[in-house]
Structure 1
């Protein structure tokens, strides 16, 4: 994931086992196991008689991911609000603060890592194991890597701040609405890019 976030790997890129083994200083069996795990997570597509490739979300599939992500992130925000404890509030705020700090961090992948950490925090706080299981396979991380919407990062932090405020207040309905609004706004930027590439 880190390589995807930092731009060292890109959606659609073919992965050659020997090159990966050399790059990471591991054996080919370890590479195969990692590829199988990433395939199960929905990050890599494995096709018979072809090198595995990082999942590429073509126009319609990207829109489908957004459609599902809107509901899943909304549910995750609702679950977090319903399960929020006093100890969880600073943790979720810290995850959001890390995203805010990453806005001015030039380190490759800093914002993407902070956003992934935020998603992880909200999923863990919500405690819904099914959402935790399915979220990585959803493809939202691939979508972020493929359609890098740099201009909307500050807006993303603002939208997620609404999620944090509602969740911290224990307002499950408002947290869900804020989570869905976050994805809707992100989707508007992606839809412009998808529309321009079709």
Structure 2
């Protein structure tokens, strides 16, 4: 495992933030996986920080639902049961539909056209390259664009807290990426037409499609 040199001039908050973002990035790009145990010493070496910064980042990620803490075992990346997955998707469906409807209601071509189309183009390019980490980053930018266009500050605050990043890491595959790309095209089409009813339906349909594929996925023994 590669390590980084510690930056002794960095503040504790900055060091903790480096670990926090690093774990999220490594989870998104497949270098960490749900269920993986985490060792403080290895994380400190990997991100070039002290163990206190690692502990602080782990506590923050636990509060966000990314890491499971157990007093008798080392921390682990959260692994969702099927029931937990369906609960997350239930919340995600409602919030995604709200995000797509809000984006359609507030969309203006001169203000938002380039942003929306460029983020969709990122998703298309990532799909062509068939690289999961690249697709995950593009998907994140796509949703960020929807939230920016919609302008709902409370939704912008709450949306990242949904545990979809765990679902994305836990359930991968070409079929899921293909359905996401097709659904994103439908969402964009409705938004640019400022058709909030169709955009809301497209948001609902997207999460339902993801749920159907996940439920059909063979479960691990």
Shared fold, TM over 0.5:
yes
Give per-residue Cα distances to partners, 1:67-109, cap 9 Å, x unaligned: 2111111111111112223321220111111000001225450
Structure 2 counterpart of 1:48: 71
The structure number with the bigger radius of gyration is 2
Deviates more, 1:48-57 or 1:12-21: 48-57
Post-superposition CA distance 1:2-60 (Å, at most 9, x none): 21122111111121111100011111122122222222322222233432221111111
Name which of structure 1's ranges 184-193 and 39-48 shifts more when overlaid on structure 2: 39-48
Q: TM-score w.r.t. structure 1 length?
A: 0.91
Q: Which runs of 5+ in 1 are unaligned?
A: none
Shift of 1:197: 4.2
**Matched residue SS, 2:27:** helix
Highest RCO, 1 vs 2 (Cα 8 Å, sep ≥ 6): 1
Q: Pick from 16, 20, 40: which aligns with 1:17?
A: 40
Structure 2 segments unaligned to the other structure (5+ residues)? 1-23
Contact 1:42–1:136 under 8 Å retained in 2: no
Aligned to 1:69: 92
Q: Are the equivalent residues in 2 in contact too, given 1:40–1:137 (CA < 8 A)?
A: no
Equivalent residues in 2 for 1:140-151, closer than 5 Å: 140-151=164-175
Residue aligning to 2:134: 110
C-alpha distance in 2 between matches for 1:59 and 1:81: 32
- The count of residues paired between Structure 1 and Structure 2 equals 197
Superposed CA RMSD in Å reads 1.7
